[in-house]
C-alpha cells in the first residue's frame, strides 16, 4: 500500500529540499518556471543538493505517462536493489501501485506548473519507508513542461 500526502512548500523542512527550493527561487524568481533550454540544465541539476541527493530527472515529453523516461538517478538512490536505474521508463518499475501514485504526483506538478512537495509512505519487502519528495518542473521553448526534477529525502523507516 502506498499513501501520499501533499505538503505545502512551507512545510518542507529537510535541509537538502530547502536548499533546492532556495536554488529554484534564485534561478526562476517567485512563481517562475525554470526555462531549461534558455538557462541551461546544469545550474539546476548540477547543484550539490540535487546531484548528490536522491534525485531523478524525468522526461515527460511523451503522451503516455507510463513511458516517461527516468533520465538520471543520484548515486544515493536504490530502486529495488538497482543502483543503475538510468534511461528506463516508469512502467519498468516493478510495483504497479507505486507507479500509479507516482504518475498522479507528476500530473499534479505538471498541472500546477510550479514546485510541489509530497510525503509518501510505502512498503518495500516488509519495510515501510516514508519520504518527502520535491518536484521541480522545467519548461521548453514552447512553454510545455518537459522535465520534472525530483529530490527525495527519507523521513522514517520501520520493519
Domain ranges (residues) in the chain: 2-158
Supply the pLDDT for residue 81.
54
| 154 contacts 131 by C-beta, under 8 angstroms | yes
How many Cα atoms occupy the beta-carbon half-sphere of 44 within 13 Å?
Answer: 27
At 44 the pLDDT is: 79
> Containing H/E element for 121?
strand 116-124
Pairwise CA distance, residues 80 & 59, whole Å: 21
CB 13 within 8 A of CB 149: no
pTM: 0.85
24: Cβ–Cβ under 8 A, 6 or more apart, which residues?
34, 44, 115, 136
Q: Tell me, what DSSP letter sits at residue 62?
A: S
CATH architecture of 2-158: 2-Layer Sandwich (3.30)
User: What is the Cα Rg of the chain in Å?
Assistant: 15
Q: Give the per-residue pLDDT at 71.
A: 72
10-29 pLDDT, tens digit each: 999 888 889 888 888 888 88
Residues in the chain, pLDDT under 70: 31, 51-53, 72-86
Contact 76, 50 (CB under 8 A): no
Q: Which residues pair with 73 in a beta bridge?
A: 56
Amino acid at each position: 500500500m502506498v499513501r501520499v500526502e501533499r505538503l505545502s512548500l512551507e512545510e518542507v523542512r529537510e535541509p537538502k529540499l530547502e536548499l533546492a527550493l532556495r536554488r529554484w527561487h534564485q534561478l526562476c524568481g517567485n512563481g517562475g518556471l525554470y526555462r531549461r533550454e534558455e538557462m541551461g540544465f546544469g545550474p539546476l541539476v548540477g547543484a550539490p543538493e540535487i546531484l548528490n541527493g536522491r534525485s531523478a530527472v524525468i522526461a515527460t515529453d511523451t503522451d503516455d505517462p507510463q513511458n516517461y523516461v527516468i533520465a538520471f538517478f543520484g548515486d544515493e538512490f536504490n530502486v529495488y536493489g538497482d543502483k543503475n536505474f538510468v534511461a528506463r521508463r516508469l512502467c519498468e518499475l516493478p510495483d504497479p501501485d507505486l507507479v500509479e501514485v507516482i504518475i498522479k504526483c507528476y500530473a499534479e506538478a505538471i498541472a500546477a506548473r510550479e514546485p510541489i512537495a509530497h510525503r509518501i509512505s510505502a512498503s518495500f519487502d516488509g519495510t515501510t519507508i516514508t519520504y518527502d519528495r520535491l518536484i521541480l518542473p522545467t519548461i521548453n521553448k514552447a512553454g510545455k513542461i518537459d522535465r520534472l526534477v525530483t529530490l527525495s529525502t527519507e523521513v522514517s523507516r520501520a520493519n
